[in-house]
Amino acid sequence: MIKPLGSDKLMPLYVEDDAKRAELQKEAEGLPSIVISSAAAGNAVMLAGGYFTPLTGFMNVADSMGVAQNMKTTSGQFWPTPVLNVVEDASAIKDAKRIALLDPNVEGNPVLAIQDVEAIEEFTDEQMATMTKEIYGTDDPEHIGVATFNAVGKTCISGPIQVLNFSYFPKDFPGTFKTAVEIRNEISERGWEKVVAFQTRNPMHLAHEELCRMAYEDEKADGILIHMLLGKLKKGDIPADVRDNCIRKMVETYFPPNTVMVTGYGFDMLYAGPREAVLHACFRQNCGCTHLIVGRDHAGVGDYYGPFDAQTIFDNISKDDLQIDIYRADHTAFSKKLGKVVMMSRVEDHTKDDFVLLSGTKVREMLGQGIKPPKEFSRPEVADILIAYYQSL
């Protein structure tokens, strides 16, 4: 199986030992504490599950700037996006060497992790601007990722963490939320060697389903990991529980047994386009996947990124830094001529009229009115679930 990133084994930061975890929980009650941002909580959950191997905690200013500008920490470790615990005001933990991090996403703000504080530093306005531009490719405050990144403050608390739980994800998504450790173990148990990962924050239409099938067949893979984001999204995106139901229905109805794992991970969407595609590749390698499907405008939002920017960014990444392979996908759609879903770039004799193409707006309108999109666009079983959701709004 493919090795984890920068390590011979996964390095999950969740404290597995019950007695040790109880001891830390008790210790946390007496520590200075701070409610962290949702983004930092997501980072903690990803660190806990081994997804962010080989990182050991939150980055300092120097590492954050190195990652933003060169995708390398000061020690030379490859990583595409800063992993930060940034707050507006750190006065409550001033001079503390060990602090409790409180979960902003669970009622009562329980302790999520304990952090050893190596440094408390301030990003300058210039550094924040540089990071924003490098990570998101834009400094437009209308970009949801840019707005979120710049809204949490500039005070950087760095240092290693010990994580005591996985926030709300196991409770809200039982059977779907899995750590990188659990996914890697299941891949091994299934006897899979070559695994294609599909990232999604949306329900899967017929074209997405067929794209997974194409990658599976083209790469002669043993299995497919459909891996959905379970954290915070932008307004208007489909909630994770609805997505989960849609994807599970599609897989159980249309894929043979033991070809697909449906799982999810606890992280908020960055909408960082190419950089987020690289992050997706990093933690899919940690899951044990050998290939990641990267399609048009992967992890994008609006018109901020070119359709293939999230693919070409990998052209300049060394295999020494990232071993997972990228399956480069173009837009897929149902061909009326051929009677099947195809990758549009592979059928040069087609015009736009030869495909079944529907905008997201049009599809949402149809579903809201209780109208199923054509079978060439969406599986009817999936459409039923989405219709029920839209009509409940």
Q: Rounded to an integer, what distance in angstroms lies between the CA atom of residue 272 and that of residue 266?
A: 17
Which residue among 201, 213, 248, 364 is the active-site one? 201
| Residues near 223 by beta carbon (within 8 Å), at least 6 away in sequence | 187, 190, 192, 194, 195, 196, 216, 258, 259, 260, 261
DSSP 8-state class, residue 285? H
Q: Is the dihedral of CA 25, 90, 147, 140 positive or negative?
A: negative
Read off the DSSP letter of residue 177. B
Residue 275 is among the residues annotated as catalytic for this protein: no
| Cβ–Cβ under 8 Å, residues 114 and 157 | no
263 near 253, Cβ under 8 Å? no
* Contacting residues for 85 by C-beta, under 8 A, at least 6 apart: 36, 37, 40, 43, 58, 101, 115, 156, 157, 158
Q: Which of 82, 59, 3, 10 is nearest to 276 (CA)?
A: 82
Residue 284 falls in the annotated catalytic set: no
Name the active-site residue from 109, 185, 190, 202.
202
Return the closest-CA partner of residue 230 out of 287, 168, 141: 168
Place of tokens 């009115």: 369
Contact predicate 102/36, CB 8 Å: yes
Nearest to 373 by CA among 388, 358, 351, 391: 358
CA atoms within 13 A on the CB side of 366: 15
Helix (H) or strand (E) holding 321: none
Residue with tokens 């970009």: 143
DSSP letter string, 239-253: PHHHHHHHHHHHHHH
Which phi and psi angles does 356 have, rounded to 5°? -90, 105
Give catalytic residue positions: 201-202
